[in-house]
Chain A
C-alpha cells in the first residue's frame, strides 16, 4: 500500500507503478489519485442512442442498460466516468465492444423494428476563462458519433 506513495508523474512513480500495479490492482491496494488533480474541462455530458427503424425514422433511446433508460451523468457521476473512459481511452476498447454488443442485443429485443443505431456523445467543453469574461458562452458543444451499428442484415 505504501508503495503507492511515489507520485505517478515522477520517474520513480512510473517505474514502481509499471512493476507492481498488476499485483496492487489484483489485491485491491492500488491507489490512483488522478481524481484529485485532474481538471474537469467539461461542463456537461449527455449520451444518446439514435436508433433508426425500418421506415428510416430516428428514435432517441437512453444508454443505460438493461432497460435503455435515459441517464443524467451529472447526477450519476459513475456514468460520467464510465462513458468518457469507454469512448475516449483506447485502452478500454474491450469495454466499448462489449457495450456495443450488449446494446445490439437489448435494442433487438426491446425495439425489434429498429435496423441500426449510433451512439452520440454530447460534450460541452468549457471555454477559456478569459473568453467567458469577454462574453462568450460557458462551453462549446461538440458531438462525437459512433456507428451506425447494424441490427438486422
Chain B
C-alpha cells in the first residue's frame, strides 16, 4: 500500500502539472491550426467521404462504432467553427482558464476526427488522444499561468500540491511508445539490415532531396542501430533520476533531429517533446543530492 501511494498518490508541486498543461495546450493549438487546411476535404460532406460512408468505413476498418461530432456538423463553415473553437479554448487553457473544459472539448474533436477520417490519421493522433484522456482526469495546476510560472510567483497558493498519478501515467505512456516502437522495428527487414535511416532520408519524409544519404550509407547504417539503442534506453534513462538529464537531452536531441531531417514530422517531434514535460524537473534529485552533500 505504501508503494502504491508513493508511486501514484505522492504529492508533487502543482507547477509540474501547470507546465504539462501549458505544453499540451500549445501542442493542441498547433495541431488544430495544422488541421484547418485539411478540414473541408477530410471532415465535411463536401470532401472525400460523406459522414455516413465514413461511419461504415470506420466500422469495417476497426470494428468500432463511429461517434463523430462531424456526423452532425457536416458543412465547411460548421466544421471550421468547431476547430476554431478548439483553438480558442487551447489559448485560454494556456493561461489556466477553462482548461478542463478545453481538454474535454479537444478530446471530443480529436476523437471525432479519427472516427470521421480514420484513413487520414497519423501516429501522433493516437498519442494526442491518449494524452488528452490522461489530462482530463489529472490535476492541471490552473492556479499557474506562463507568466507566474516564469516569475515563480503564484498569488493564490504558491505551495499547492497535487497527487502525481497524472504525471506517472504520461511517463508510462512515453515509455510504452519507445519500447513498443523498438519491438516493432526489431522484426522489420530494413531495421535489421541497417537500411532504414537511408531509406527514410531518400523518401518523401526527407527534407533534403538528392542522393546524398547513399553516400553516407555506412554512417547511416550505424545510426540505424544507434537509433534502436537510444529508443530502447530512453525509458530507463528518463525513469532513473540520476540519468534523467541525459535522457531528456538525448530524447529532445533525437526528436529535434527528426524534425530537422524530416519535412513533415514537426508535430510528431513536438508531441514527444511535450511528453518529456512530465519528467520535469530533471535536476530535482541531483540538486537534492548536492545539497545533502554540502550539508
Contact = CB atoms under 8 A, between A and B. Distances in A.
B114 interface: yes
A52 B181 CA distance: 46
Given A29-B129, A98-B54, A36 B204 contact: no
A111 interface: no
Nearest to B231: A36
A95 B57 contact: yes
Given A23-B64, A95-B48, A1 B119 contact: no
A135 to B, nearest CB: 10
Contacts of A9: 183-184, 187
Interface string B27-44: 000000000011011101
A39 B193 CA distance: 12
Given A7-B184, A25-B62, A74-B263, A98 B130 contact: no
B119 A86 contact: yes
A99 B40 CA distance: 13
B101 interface: no
Contacts of B173: 1
Query: Chain A: interface residue count, which band?
Result: 35 or more
Interface string A36-48: 1111111111000
Interface in A9-40: 9-10, 21-26, 28-40
Nearest to A31: B126
Nearest to A39: B190
Given A28-B110, A36-B123, A98-B54, 5 more contacts: A5-B180, A31-B126, A66-B44, A74-B204, A81-B119
Nearest to B214: A132
Contacts of A23: 64
A126 B210 CA distance: 12
Interface of A: 1-2, 4-5, 7-10, 21-26, 28-45, 64-66, 73-82, 85-86, 89, 91-95, 97-99, 102, 126, 129, 132-133, 138-139
Contact of B200 (A5, A29, A40): A40
23 contacts: A5-B176, A7-B183, A26-B64, A28-B110, A31-B180, A37-B184, A37-B191, A39-B188, A42-B204, A43-B204, A65-B40, A73-B204, A76-B37, A77-B265, A79-B38, A82-B42, A93-B60, A94-B53, A95-B54, A95-B57, A98-B50, A98-B54, A129-B195
Query: Looking at B49, B119, B191, which has the most chain A CB atoms within 10 Å of its CB?
Result: B119
A7 B176 CA distance: 10
B203 A66 contact: no
Contacts of B176: 2, 4-5, 31
Query: Chain B: interface residue count, which band?
Result: 35 or more
B239 interface: no
B49 A99 contact: yes
B122 A82 contact: no
Contacts of B205: 40
Nearest to B206: A43
Top 3 A-B pairs, shortest CB-CB distance: A35-B123, A40-B203, A22-B63
Contact of A33 (B47, B120, B181): B181
A80 B119 CA distance: 10
A24 B126 CA distance: 11
Contacts of B40: 65-66
A98 to B, nearest CB: 4
B67 A26 contact: yes
B93 interface: no
Contact of B180 (A7, A25, A44, A99): A7
A73 to B, nearest CB: 7
B177 interface: yes
B129 A37 contact: no
B53 A97 contact: yes
Contacts of A34: 123, 184
Contacts of B87: none
Contacts of A92: 57, 61, 119
